[in-house]
Amino acid sequence: MAEPMKIRATLAGDVADIKVLMNHIMETGTRKDAKTGQLVPAHHINSITATLGGKTVLDAEIGGAVSKNPYLGFKVKGAKAGDKVTVNWVDNKGDKNSADATVA
Amino acid sequence: MNHQRRTVLKGVGSAAAVGVAVAAGLLKPTVAFAGDRTAFEAKGKDAVMNALKAGGAAESKDITVKAPDIAENGAVVPVEVTSNVAGTDSIAIIAEKNAFPMVGEFHLSNGAQGFIATRIKLANTSQVRAVVKAGGKVYTAAKEVKVTIGGCGG
């Protein structure tokens, strides 16, 4: 499940505008398979954390109601060019992924 | 954090077995049971609000929920929440008419501003509600999104 994650972090003044695109199926666990009629087991990201320059700026708990291949945008004040952004996620099966980018 | 909790509960299937795992030192109790996902399992908007301890949230004009008036595809509905409430600690998003309304809660710290953009699934035409916690108080605002094709189950 470790498909790449895209992060873009741009600076406007001293505010970093961070956009993250994760690759994940985000199954809710309530959807039925059209062929078998069986419920498709839940498989979604449970938590996302983001750090900027080593400090935690975002700590999120999400569920299956976030769309497939989740997009997340957030803004952090007090950033400067060259700061490192790191985003981690963990899903309900324990899979995880991490990626980083540099504020530009 | 609670990353292992659901996997453990589902995979192992009984609290007794989890107890055995804890006793055997396979799992630290804090890892197995910390974190609270009750809001994600709550059905109905009021139950979610209670799970978030946001039952008495005040409507606030300082919160903006930006979403389309009509979403053709309920599986991908862009939502942006901006909170101008001073000292915003967290933003939660709730899709009121979904079977499980809780979408997510985003805790902001170290300069993160009161802004979250994401894409969510809506099963039906519904109020999309933002719940903002700031300085121990809870505020809320909502916007209705009409859905022509639902995005959950089917």
Looking at the fold, whether B24 and B51 belong to one and the same domain comes out as: no
Hey, is the C-beta of A64 within 8 angstroms of any chain B C-beta?
yes
Q: Within 13 Å, how many C-alpha atoms sit on residue A70's CB side? A: 29
E-state strands within chain A: 6-12, 15-21, 45-52, 55-62, 71-77, 84-91, 96-102
Looking at the fold, whether B31 and B63 belong to one and the same domain comes out as: no
Tens place of pLDDT per residue across chain A (104 aa): 457 899 999 999 999 999 999 999 999 999 988 899 999 999 999 999 999 999 999 999 999 999 999 999 999 999 999 999 999 999 999 999 999 999 99
Percent of chain A with pLDDT over 70: 98
What pTM did the predictor assign? Answer: 0.83
ipTM computed for the complex: 0.94
Contact B149, B98 (CB under 8 A): no
pLDDT by residue (tens digit) across B70-82?
Answer: 998 999 999 999 9
Domain that holds residue B5: 1-35
β-bridge partners, A96: A90
Give A-chain residues touching B102 at CB under 8 angstroms.
Answer: 63, 65
Looking at the fold, whether B57 and B16 belong to one and the same domain comes out as: no
Looking at the fold, whether B24 and B75 belong to one and the same domain comes out as: no
Which residue in A26, A46, A51 sits closest to A90, CA to CA?
A46
- Fold classification of A6-102 is Immunoglobulin-like (2.60.40)
For residue B55, is it within any domain? yes
Substitution target from B73, B79, B113 for chain A, most A beta carbons within 10 A: B113
CA distance B8 to A104: 41
Listed by number, the residues of chain A in 43-62 with a beta carbon closer than 8 Å to a beta carbon of chain B are 46-47, 52, 55-62
Looking at the fold, whether B99 and B52 belong to one and the same domain comes out as: yes
Looking at the fold, whether B104 and B62 belong to one and the same domain comes out as: yes
